[in-house]
Amino acid sequence: MNQSSMANCVCSLLIMALYNMLLPSVIVTSMTHSSNSSTINEERQALLQSGWWNDYLNISDHCAWDAITCNEAGSVIIILGWKIPPSEELRRLQNLNMTAFPNLEVLYLYGMSLRGSIPKEISTLTKLTDLYLSNNHLQGSIPVELGSLTQLVLLSLYNNSLTGSIPSTLSQLVNLRYLLLSFNQLEGAIPAELGNLTQLIGFYLSNNSITGSIPSSLGQLQNLTILLLDSNRIQGPIPEEFGNLKSLHILYLSNNLLTSTIPPTLGRLENLTHLFLDSNQIEGHIPLELANLSNLDTLHLSQNKISGLIPPKLFQMGKMHSLYLSSNLLSGSIPIENLKCPSIATVDLSYNLLNGSIPSQIGCVNNLDLSHNFLKGEVPSLLGKNSILDRLDLSYNNLTGKLYKELATLTYINLSYNSFDFSQDLDLKAHIPDYCSFPRDSLISHNPPNFTSCDPSPQTNSPTSKAKPITVIVLPIIGIILGVILLALYFARCFSKTKFEGGLAKNGDLFSVWNYDGKVAFEDIIEATEDFHIKYCIGTGAYGSVYRVQLPTGKIVAVKKLHQMEAQNPSFDKSFRNEVKMLTEICHRNIVKLHGFCLHNRCMFLVYQYMESGSLFYALNNDVEAQELNWSKRVNIIKGMANALSYMHHDCTPPIIHRDVTSSNVLLNSHLQAFVSDFGTARLLDPDSSNQTLVVGTYGYIAPELAYTLTVSEKCDVFSFGVVALETLMGRHPGEFISSLSNSSTQNILLKDLLDSRLPLPVFPKDAQDIMLVVALALACLCFQPKSRPSMQQVAQELCASKLPPPLPFYKISIAQLMTPDILLSFI
């Protein structure tokens, strides 16, 4: 690097560090080293000898190589390697003569497939602050001499093949903030001396072969934020001193041989969000104090020997999202009472000794597994007001009595192996929508169907499915409209099946195919919304307003009503039909589900699956919601969108172009998963018709060519996707950023400065890599020339494969680097 860009680089080092917030105060690059020419020459010889930078041989000054940064005196201070050397003999750590770099501060050799052991000569790099040797194949043990590198702030040996034990000399690294040793074959116990590393913020030791017990001295690490000791063979108790780890956010002790009880002191960890103690041999009760963890998001205690009652307060914790207590010895009743609804998204209490009956408030949970217990009595008749229940497993209990038809509205239900008396109550069976159910294989798994295509013809299951004990699995998706004639036929079927009487005549123009139970109808919706009273309105789109509607069964749906005036306008009528037609043909886990529709001379409306968390736009513009949308959730939203659009463009015949991809048209469910919605402007790419059209879409998201060529192609959606993807990571509309992308000052912006500042920079390398990948792909999607943009299929595949982008350090990535074809080519 030349001198001016070097200043830039050092500056960026000072601001932000490797995937983390670690370096700021520590890397102080001295500009006053007096290196003489023999040092400089030896450094150059060592770099050449390594054979790792042969691409740069035509540049005589090694300080000008991309991978190398020198101080003012010309001595090397940063070495970055990330390309796999071309030949096997070059892939050895020993190729770099460690003794030749007296001023080296950062040695970053990531994913280079390097073999060999870490040489003890590494101790000569006394100024080293960052040693990053992750994702290689290094063997042998960690040299005790590493303990003399007392300037180290980050030590990452993550994902190698290192053996032997952790040297206690590492406790001399008094400046160490991150110690990453996961995914190796390290043995022996955790040295008690590591409790002296009081600056430590992250300690990663997952997936090794560590034995012994956890030293109580680790409880001294007041600044520790992440502690990952999962998937080892650690024995003994969880030290009660862990209650002193006041900064802890994430504690993973899963998959070990831990015994004894959960220390009540853990209830003091006020900032804890993830507590994973599953797959151990922990005994005793769940301490009541855990309910003090007001920031807890996930509690995982499954597969232990925990007994006693479940503290009711676990169900009343403000931020709890998932509670996994399965495969323990928990007894007593299910303490779901006086819940503030909605409560927790996922509750798994399966494989315990719970008795008593099913509480009436189960509707406050989204996904509930009570299977393999000793529950008795009847299933409550109503899921309750505000029910969010969507998946329910009650199998392997001793439940009796009646079943109610609202259970049929759930996405998944398993009632098998109970004592229900089906001979007396055919109510539920009568309402199983067998004529529109999915192949059983796709339902038995807990995953919703992804790319299963909807069969446009009604199908009837064979009568043999009535065998007892009966497994009732219901998926209320309807995908069948083949015009009015078929509809009429269809209704004849539907009503004769369910013995429904009167509704059709009473409600006039009811053209709904949604009535798999034959009852929910136009009037229900009018009644539930008090004739579309404004107080039920949750949003207004381009073509109509959206209402939240609670049906008499307790189920909540979203109803999109076209304004009356518009409903009478033939072009809107057309777009309405367009939307219906398209949606009924679409069946994808990231596309909002159409339950049905009503055409009536008073109004027209569409009935959709209700999305608890509203639109992506809303979530990004609300500070509380935005913080809940952490990096991995945001990346997942972007992946979901890409899958949905790829499906529309490449798996539908003819392809469907959405034409109005915006953050308002991406809806989020209670798990913050993305669903593309609003097909009001979508149109089939019919090869027989002209693809020219009036400009539609939303300002700020429209591809530039639409403005002057009026030609619609899939690449318009690709452009809009790029805008929404950037918006998701930036937390705001990227308008100005996109319009100034051709300026070098914009290209010099660092990625970390572009990201939503309401979130801390990514802590997990996986998040950092995903973010780089998304931004690089989004920038490609924003290419001015439609031809230069990737297809949605390419985008979805790249995101899905999660092939890692070049592992440049996160702090160093600029927009320009993510725009260069070289980098893109390496993974597109």
Closest CA to 278 of 306, 303, 298: 303
Position among 39, 328, 630, 713 found at the interface with ligand NAG (CB under 6 A):
39
Position among 124, 261, 292, 416 found at the interface with ligand NAG (CB under 6 A):
292
Q: Check residue 36 for interaction with ligand NAG (CB under 6 A).
A: yes
Count interface residues toward ligand NAG (CB under 6 A).
Answer: 44
Position among 59, 488, 492, 695 found at the interface with ligand NAG (CB under 6 A):
59
Q: Check residue 111 for interaction with ligand NAG (CB under 6 A).
A: yes
Q: One of 278, 297, 660, 767 is an active-site residue; which one? A: 660
Nearer to ligand NAG, 374 or 784 (CB): 374
How far lies 205's CA from each of 113, 182, 233, 537, in Å?
Answer: 21, 4, 12, 50
Indicate the pairing of strand 257-258 with strand 202-204.
unpaired
Nearest approach in angstroms of CB 675 to ligand NAG is: 17
Task: Lay out the site mask for ligand NAG across 437-456 (x = CB under 6 A, - = otherwise).
Answer: ----------x--xx-----
DSSP characters over 484-522 = HHHHHHHHHHHHHHHT--SHHHHTSS---S--TTS---H
C-alpha 679/C-alpha 657 separation (Å) is: 9
Q: How far out from the chain centre does Cα 422 lie?
A: 41
Nearest approach in angstroms of CB 390 to ligand NAG is: 19
How far lies 155's CA from each of 144, 178, 229, 813, in Å?
Answer: 14, 6, 17, 21
Stretch that binds ligand NAG, among 95-103, 402-410, 579-587, 671-679 (CB under 6 A): 95-103
Residue that is written with structure tokens 């529309």 in the block: 648
Stretch that binds ligand NAG, among 13-21, 69-77, 215-223, 547-555 (CB under 6 A): 215-223
Q: Check residue 167 for interaction with ligand NAG (CB under 6 A).
A: no
Position among 117, 159, 208, 746 found at the interface with ligand NAG (CB under 6 A):
159
Q: Check residue 267 for interaction with ligand NAG (CB under 6 A).
A: yes
Nearer to ligand NAG, 100 or 310 (CB): 100
Position among 8, 97, 124, 453 found at the interface with ligand NAG (CB under 6 A):
97
Position among 398, 601, 739, 740 found at the interface with ligand NAG (CB under 6 A):
398
Stretch that binds ligand NAG, among 32-40, 488-496, 719-727, 738-746 (CB under 6 A): 32-40
Position among 207, 244, 361, 817 found at the interface with ligand NAG (CB under 6 A):
207
Q: Check residue 802 for interaction with ligand NAG (CB under 6 A).
A: no
Q: Check residue 424 for interaction with ligand NAG (CB under 6 A).
A: no
Closest CA to 510 of 479, 484, 534, 533: 484
Q: Check residue 171 for interaction with ligand NAG (CB under 6 A).
A: yes
Q: Check residue 196 for interaction with ligand NAG (CB under 6 A).
A: yes
Q: What angle do CA 125, 127, 130 make, to 5 degrees?
A: 85
Q: Check residue 193 for interaction with ligand NAG (CB under 6 A).
A: yes
Position among 199, 416, 465, 621 found at the interface with ligand NAG (CB under 6 A):
199
Closest CA to 385 of 218, 222, 552: 552
Residue 717, H or E segment? helix 714-730
Stretch that binds ligand NAG, among 193-201, 474-482, 701-709, 727-735 (CB under 6 A): 193-201
Residue 648 DSSP label: I
Locate the DSSP E strands across 614-673: 656-657, 666-668
The reply, when asked if residue 561 is annotated as ligand binding, is: yes
Nearest approach in angstroms of CB 476 to ligand NAG is: 20
Token code pair at residue 669 = 């469910």
Q: Which residues pair with 675 in a beta bridge?
A: 667
348 is catalytic: no
Q: Check residue 289 for interaction with ligand NAG (CB under 6 A).
A: yes
Token code pair at residue 175 = 């400046």
Closest CA to 751 of 777, 723, 771: 771
Position among 8, 33, 42, 487 found at the interface with ligand NAG (CB under 6 A):
42
C-alpha 370/C-alpha 336 separation (Å) is: 12
Residue that is written with structure tokens 């300690």 in the block: 203
Q: Check residue 217 for interaction with ligand NAG (CB under 6 A).
A: yes
Q: Which residues pair with 812 in a beta bridge?
A: none
Closest CA to 521 of 499, 552, 475: 552
Identity of residue 574:
K
Q: Check residue 100 for interaction with ligand NAG (CB under 6 A).
A: yes
Stretch that binds ligand NAG, among 94-102, 361-369, 683-691, 805-813 (CB under 6 A): 94-102
Q: Is residue 210 a contact partner of residue 229, using CB atoms and an 8 Å limit?
A: yes
Residue 681 CB-half CA count within 13 A = 19
Stretch that binds ligand NAG, among 97-105, 358-366, 466-474, 811-819 (CB under 6 A): 97-105
Q: Check residue 628 for interaction with ligand NAG (CB under 6 A).
A: no
Q: Check residue 161 for interaction with ligand NAG (CB under 6 A).
A: no
Identity of residue 570:
P
Residue 202, H or E segment? strand 202-204
C-alpha 160/C-alpha 723 separation (Å) is: 38
Q: Is residue 221 a contact partner of residue 176, using CB atoms and an 8 Å limit?
A: no
Q: What share of the chain is helix, strand, coil (3-state, %, to 5)?
A: 35, 15, 50
Q: Which residues pair with 78 in a beta bridge?
A: 69, 106
Q: Check residue 2 for interaction with ligand NAG (CB under 6 A).
A: no
**Angle formed by the axes of helices 631-646 and 792-801, nearest 10°:** 140
Q: What is the largest CA-CA distance in the chain?
A: 98
Residues 327-356 that bind ligand NAG (CB under 6 A): 331, 355-356
Position among 117, 156, 208, 231 found at the interface with ligand NAG (CB under 6 A):
231
Position among 135, 373, 545, 662 found at the interface with ligand NAG (CB under 6 A):
135
Q: Which residues are annotated as a binding site for ATP?
A: 561
Catalytic residue IDs: 660
Tell me which residues touch ligand NAG (CB under 6 A). 36, 38-39, 42, 46, 58-59, 97, 99-100, 111, 135, 159, 171, 183, 192-193, 195-196, 198-199, 207, 217, 222-223, 231, 246-247, 255, 267, 270-271, 288-289, 291-292, 331, 355-356, 398, 419, 447, 450-451
